[in-house]
């Protein structure tokens, strides 16, 4: 057995050569034998059944029939055609060719048994098959693909250059003949036996050349399980390394800051979910390992108060804390909120963003290094090299998908030991995705809203109902409430969106004229200072209506705003609609979200609107979103690098993913160094994984 055999460049495979090799590399990313063997078919043509002519039905299915060509003739008329009489024991049909007649005439052997395959037509009481695939029965029996024919991924360029499905199929057969002694097992014996999995060699053979539907299903299960298993193994290993190797500062004390605030200054009673999450965080902070926890909670579920209590534990143990948010508006809001909450504690808090003046920056830098400044809140500005902490003990990152992995790691290097990390997100991550993308983080979920909060009522209205919607807005404003009206902003059609927004603004200004009504407008083309000024007017209650693009999606907190109107709602994704809806419902009053659309709706749009009106549960919405959009589009997963799956699908194969996860985490828990004899295969695979940095480049 030669483990490097499959790393042979594809140029050396018989039938490839330099030109084809260049095309396969450029079009399909196939560089080695390994890459070709893991080019899995998209679909299969079932050739497990042979029909007799008397059994044929009038449908559009592909069928295969065994018989002999007894005669050939050219037929004139509307375009010349070559017609063959094809017979089996039970009947007669015609085979027809409208092109390539000369070559076909010369190559067909009369009265010799063929297997033909294709779609049938029925006309004048007789079946015919145009341009059938034909293979001599003798060759058909020898061929590996005698049962279900694989159809491989392809591109226009490959087809144009003659690398058809048939050619790829032939290359695959050649490769299997050369590689059959180099396909070795890649999962441990106990796992293969416990799950009754096909061997690796059988699975690869049956994914490319299945003899039956059942063999194909078993091969697919085996390969999907393996792909998920090694992704999960990597995550489990990373999680364990984190807990055993990466030392954190143990926060052993719960002191005056925490106790004073918790007992005397909490603005409201914590929900059961908040208490549970706080307990999980306290447990992590008290251990010797660095905390790495993801805190998920829907908009308005009270993540910030949990973050503050966690920061106060850091302060009680003599450490500093920081909170990093993706936008200036959000960081200012966090700063104002925390400043208010911490007033009774005399905590030293500062704000650092791109627009902090140089003179203030200098003071912040000095106070951070001396330890006088206890909590720093800000944007990416926190990552600058000039920003040095005396002893950063806890870093809270809000809406973490908006920061790249490299950016986050900069925070880790501001200390001798990395600080504890609490990542917060209001974008509910479907459990399916959390298991893969954030699988190495421990996850806490706040799944309860604070008492007194009313569920937001969501309705869908067509443009024709606009006058009724305006009347409803007037009633709400009379009660002293404020209203958001949001227009889509999609980069590709920015000019059109800007026009929609301005047209909308004008029609709203006519309906709600000065001096009775004041309207703010916020969009991406405004200067940041003007944007902040308009936002501030709305926050202060000086304007009743805010007309905006999606810049208000994250983090504007106006408890008095009770109505969210989303124009052209069909143009938004589900998670964005849910985020926008979360801008209202922050006070004690009943809030409303109105989704405005035209009558023309795609089926996906209908599903999104129906989901929004049916539920406020962010996790349920995220699951539907994941099914509609696929994993690659869900917020920020591109940076994770684990979702370019070859064969698994984290939505459809969720049950296989769960099984793979439990086995992978079980192995790491039971035998973290893969020292047991039965885990030697896994140890070897893991080493290959680290070497090649990609699951299918090393599983073979």
Q: Tens digits of per-residue pLDDT, 52-74?
A: 999 888 776 678 999 999 999 99
pLDDT (0 to 100) of residue 699: 43
**Whether pLDDT at 490 is above 70:** no
pLDDT at 142 over 90: no
CA nearest to 591, candidates 555, 625, 616, 611:
616
Q: Are residues 224 and 158 in the same domain?
A: no
The pLDDT value given to residue 409: 65
Encoded tokens for 391? 């002893």
Q: What is the CATH number of the domain that holds 101?
A: 2.40.50.140
The CA distance from 358 to 360, in Å, is 5
pLDDT in tens, 236-286: 888 888 778 777 789 999 999 999 999 999 988 899 999 999 999 999 999
pLDDT band at 689 (very low <50, low <70, confident <90, very high): confident
Total domains present in the chain:
5
In terms of Cα–Cα distance, which of 406, 444, 439 is closest to 643?
A: 439
pLDDT digits (tens, 9 = 90+) for 374-428: 999 998 888 888 899 999 999 999 876 555 556 656 766 676 778 898 988 877 6
Min mean pLDDT across 103-107, 156-160, 583-587 is at: 583-587
Q: What share of the chain has pLDDT > 70, as a percent?
A: 89
315 in the same domain as 364 = yes
Q: Which DSSP helix (H) or strand (E) runs through 130?
A: strand 126-130
Cis before residue 515, ω within 30 degrees of 0?
yes
The mean of the pLDDT values for the chain is 86
For 548, the token pair is 């905006």
Q: List the helix and strand counts (H, then E) for the chain.
A: 25, 22
Q: Report whether pLDDT(609) > 80.
A: yes
**CATH number of the domain that 19 lies in?**
1.10.150
Q: Which residues contact 415 (CB under 8 A, 6 or more apart)?
A: 389, 391, 392
Together in a domain, 166 and 273: no
């603004």: which residue's tokens? Answer: 505
Handedness of CA 142, 148, 152, 156 (dihedral sign): positive
CATH number assigned to the domain comprising residue 358? 3.40.50.300
Q: What is the pLDDT of residues 629-654, one digit of tens each?
A: 765 444 343 333 345 678 887 777 87
Q: pLDDT band at 500, cuts 50/70/90?
A: confident
425 and 463 together in one domain: no
> 175 and 159 in one domain?
yes
Average pLDDT, integer, range 350-379? 93
Helices 574-581 & 603-614 angle (0-180, nearest 10): 30
d(CA 95, CA 133): 10
Looking at residue 526, its pLDDT comes to 82
Tokens of 140: 């058909």
pLDDT of residue 634: 42
Cα 638 from Cα 265, distance rounded (Å): 42
On whether residue 372 sits in a domain, the answer given is: yes
Confidence (pLDDT) at 641: 37
CA distance 585 to 456: 6
Q: Write b or e for each residue in 417-454: b if 16 or more Cβ atoms lie within 10 A of its Cβ, otherwise e.
A: ebbbbbbbbbbbbbbbbbbbbbbbbbbbbbbbbbeebe
Q: Could you tell me which residues come within 8 angstroms of residue 603 by beta carbon, excluding any fewer than 6 positions away? A: none
Separation CA 214–CA 566 (nearest Å): 49
| C-alpha closest to that of 455 among 333, 676, 617 | 617
pLDDT band at 488 (very low <50, low <70, confident <90, very high): confident
Residue 626 lies in a domain: no
Residue where a domain stops, chosen among 581, 615, 649: 615
- Residue 324 lies inside a defined structural domain of this protein: yes
Domain boundary among 384, 411, 446: 446
293 occurs within a structural domain:
yes
> What is the sign of the dihedral through the CA atoms of 240, 242, 246 and 250?
negative
pTM for this prediction = 0.63
Percent of the chain scoring above 90 in pLDDT: 49
> How much is the pLDDT for 654?
79
Decide: 609 and 570 in contact? Cβ < 8 Å: yes
**Is 223 among the domain residues?**
yes
In the chain, % helix, strand, coil (3-state, to 5) comes to 45, 20, 35
CA–CA dist 420, 412 (Å, integer): 9
Does residue 275 share a domain with residue 230?
no
CB within 8 A of 414, min separation 6: which ones?
387, 388, 389, 392
- Cβ atoms of 88 and 127 within 8 Å: the answer is no
Q: Is residue 694 part of a domain?
A: yes
Looking at the structure, tell me whether residues 118 and 172 fall in a common domain.
Answer: no
Q: Which of 593, 615, 637 is the last residue of a domain?
A: 615
Q: Are residues 483 and 527 in the same domain?
A: yes
Q: How confident is the model at residue 527 (pLDDT cuts 50, 70, 90)?
A: confident
312 & 170 share domain: no
The token pair at 125 is: 């009481």
Residue 349 Cα distances to 315, 367, 374, 375, angstroms? 12, 10, 6, 5
Is there a domain that residue 650 lies in?
no
Any residues with CB less than 8 A from the CB of 504 and at least 6 apart, and which?
Answer: 485, 487, 547, 567
Q: How far is 505 from 487, CA to CA, in rounded Å?
A: 10
What mean pLDDT is predicted for residues 110-126?
90
Dist. CA 142–CA 243, nearest whole Å: 56
On the question of pLDDT at 287 being above 50, the answer is yes
* Contact criterion met (CB below 8 Å) for 81 and 75: yes
Lowest mean pLDDT among 289-303, 417-431, 544-558: 544-558
Per the structure, the complete domain to which residue 559 belongs is given by 457-615
Give yes or no: residues 366 and 477 share one domain.
no
Does 451 map to a domain? no
Confidence of residue 536 (pLDDT cuts 50, 70, 90): confident
Q: Which of 106-115, 650-659, 681-690 has the highest mean pLDDT?
A: 106-115
3-state secondary structure 285-329: HHCCECCEEEEEECCCCCHHHHHHHHHHHHHHCCCEEEEECCCHH
The sheet that has 126-130: what strands, in order across it?
121-123, 126-130, 91-97, 81-88, 62-75, 113-119, 133-136
Q: Which of 250, 264, 268 is nearest to 314 (CA)?
A: 250
The pLDDT of residue 700: 35
- Based on the fold, state whether residues 300 and 441 are members of the same structural domain: yes
Residues 410 and 491 in one domain: no
Give the end-to-end CA distance of the chain in Å, rounded to a whole number: 12
């Amino acid at each position: 057995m030669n483990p490097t055999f499959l790393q042979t460049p594809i140029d050396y495979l018989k039938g490839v050569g330099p030109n084809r090799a260049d095309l396969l590399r450029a079009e399909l990313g196939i560089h080695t034998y390994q890459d070709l063997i893991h080019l899995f078919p998209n679909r299969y043509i079932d050739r497990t059944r042979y029909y007799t002519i008397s059994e044929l039905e009038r449908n559009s299915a592909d069928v295969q029939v065994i018989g002999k060509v007894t005669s050939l003739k050219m037929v004139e008329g509307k375009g010349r055609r070559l017609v063959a009489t094809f017979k089996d024991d039970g009947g007669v049909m015609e085979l027809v060719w409208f092109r390539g007649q000369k070559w076909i005439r010369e190559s067909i052997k009369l009265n010799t048994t063929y297997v033909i395959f294709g779609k049938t037509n029925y006309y004048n009481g007789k079946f015919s098959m145009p341009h059938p695939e034909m293979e001599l029965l003798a060759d058909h029996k020898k061929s590996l693909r005698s049962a279900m024919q694989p159809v491989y991924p392809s591109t226009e360029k490959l087809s144009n250059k003659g690398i058809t499905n048939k050619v790829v199929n032939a290359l695959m057969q050649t490769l299997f003949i050369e590689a059959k002694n180099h396909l070795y097992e890649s999962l441990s014996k106990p796992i293969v036996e416990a799950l009754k999995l096909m061997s690796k060699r059988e699975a690869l053979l049956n994914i490319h050349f299945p003899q039956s539907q059942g063999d194909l299903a078993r091969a697919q299960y085996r390969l999907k399980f393996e792909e998920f298993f090694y992704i999960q193994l990597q995550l489990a290993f990373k999680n364990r390394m984190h807990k055993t190797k990466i030392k954190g500062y143990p926060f052993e004390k719960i002191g005056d800051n925490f106790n004073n605030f918790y007992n005397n200054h909490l603005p409201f009673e914590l929900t059961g979910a908040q208490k549970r999450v706080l307990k999980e965080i306290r447990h992590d902070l008290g251990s010797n390992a660095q905390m790495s926890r993801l805190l998920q909670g829907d908009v308005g579920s009270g993540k910030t108060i949990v973050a503050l209590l966690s920061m106060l534990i850091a302060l009680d143990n003599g450490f500093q804390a920081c909170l990093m948010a993706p936008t200036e508006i959000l960081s200012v809001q966090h700063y104002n909120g925390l400043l208010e909450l911490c007033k009774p504690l005399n905590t030293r808090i500062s704000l650092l963003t791109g627009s902090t003046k140089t003179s203030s920056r200098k003071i912040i830098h000095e106070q951070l290094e001396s330890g006088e400044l206890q909590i720093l809140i800000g944007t990416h500005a926190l990552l600058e090299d000039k920003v040095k902490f005396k002893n950063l003990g806890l870093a809270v990152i809000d809406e973490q998908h908006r920061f790249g992995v490299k950016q986050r790691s900069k925070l880790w290097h501001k200390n001798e030991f990395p600080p504890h990390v609490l990542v917060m997100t209001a974008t509910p991550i479907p459990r399916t995705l959390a298991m893969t993308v954030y699988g190495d983080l421990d996850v806490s979920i706040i799944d309860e809203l604070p008492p007194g909060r009313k569920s937001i009522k969501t309705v869908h209205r067509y443009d024709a109902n606009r006058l009724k919607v305006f009347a409803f807005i007037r009633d709400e404003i009379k009660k002293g409430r404020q209203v958001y009206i949001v227009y889509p902003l999609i980069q590709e059609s920015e000019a059109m969106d800007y026009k929609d927004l301005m047209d909308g603004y004008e029609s709203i200004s006519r309906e709600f004229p000065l001096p009775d009504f004041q309207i703010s407008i916020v969009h991406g083309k405004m200067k940041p200072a003007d944007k902040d000024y308009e936002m501030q007017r709305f926050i202060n209650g000086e304007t009743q209506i805010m007309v905006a693009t999606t810049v208000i999606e994250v983090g504007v907190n106006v408890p008095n705003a009770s109505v969210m109107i989303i124009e052209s709602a069909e143009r938004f994704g589900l998670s964005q609609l849910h985020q926008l809806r979360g801008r209202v419902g922050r006070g004690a009053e009943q809030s409303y979200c109105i989704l405005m659309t035209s009558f023309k709706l795609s089926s996906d749009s209908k599903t999104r609107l129906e989901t929004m009106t049916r539920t406020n549960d962010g996790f349920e919405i995220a699951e539907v979103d994941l099914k509609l959009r696929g994993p690659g589009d869900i917020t920020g997963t591109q940076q994770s690098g684990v979702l370019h799956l070859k064969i698994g699908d984290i939505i459809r194969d969720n049950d296989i993913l769960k099984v793979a996860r439990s086995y992978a985490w079980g192995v790491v828990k039971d035998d973290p160094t893969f020292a047991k004899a039965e885990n030697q295969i896994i140890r070897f695979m893991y080493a290959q994984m680290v070497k090649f940095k990609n699951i299918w480049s090393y599983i073979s």
